Amino acid sequence: MLSPDTFCTTLQQHGITQYYGVPDSLLKNLCSYIDNAFESDAHVITANEGNAVAMAMGHFLGSGKPAVVYMQNSGLGNVVNPLTSLADPEVYSIPMLLVIGWRGEPGVKDEPQHIKQGRISEQQLNVLDIPYIILDSTTSLEKNLKSLLQTMSKQSRPVAILVKSDTFKAIAKVSSKTPVYAMNREQALAVLLPQVPSEALIVSTTGKTSREVFEIRKAHGQKNTDFLTVGGMGHTLSIAMGVAKAKPQKPVVALDGDGSMLMHMGSLAIAGSSGLKNLIHVILNNACHDSVGGQPTVAGNIDIEQIALGCGYSAYKCYETRDALNEFWKDIESQLRETDGPMLLEVKINKGARTDLGRPTSTPIENKLAFMQHSVEY
| Model confidence pLDDT, tens digit, residues 155-165 | 999 999 999 99
Look over the chain and give the mean of its residue pLDDT values, rounded to a whole number: 94
Are 4-163 and 185-377 in the same CATH fold? Answer: yes
Fold of 185-377: Rossmann fold (3.40.50)
DSSP H or E run through 308: helix 304-311
DSSP H or E run through 319: strand 315-319
Q: Tell whether the model's pLDDT for residue 378 goes beyond 80.
A: no
Nearest to 38, CA basis, from 75, 12, 3, 1:
12
Name every residue whose Cβ is closer than 8 Å to that of residue 74 and which is 6 or more positions away in sequence: 103, 113, 114, 117, 231, 233
- 338 pLDDT tier (thresholds 50, 70, 90): confident
Q: What pTM value is reported for the model?
A: 0.91
Would you tell me how many other CB atoms lie within 10 Å of the CB of residue 62?
8
Give 4-163's CATH code, choosing from 3.40.50.720, 3.40.50.970, 3.40.50.2000, 3.40.190.10. Answer: 3.40.50.970
Contact yes or no for 16/156 (Cβ under 8 A): no
The pLDDT assigned to 140 comes to: 83
Number of residues in the chain: 378
Distances (CA, A) of 276 to 33, 161, 272, 326, 344: 44, 43, 8, 25, 12
Q: Where are the domains of the chain?
A: 4-163, 185-377
Contact yes or no for 250/332 (Cβ under 8 A): no
Nearest to 114, CA basis, from 206, 177, 237:
206
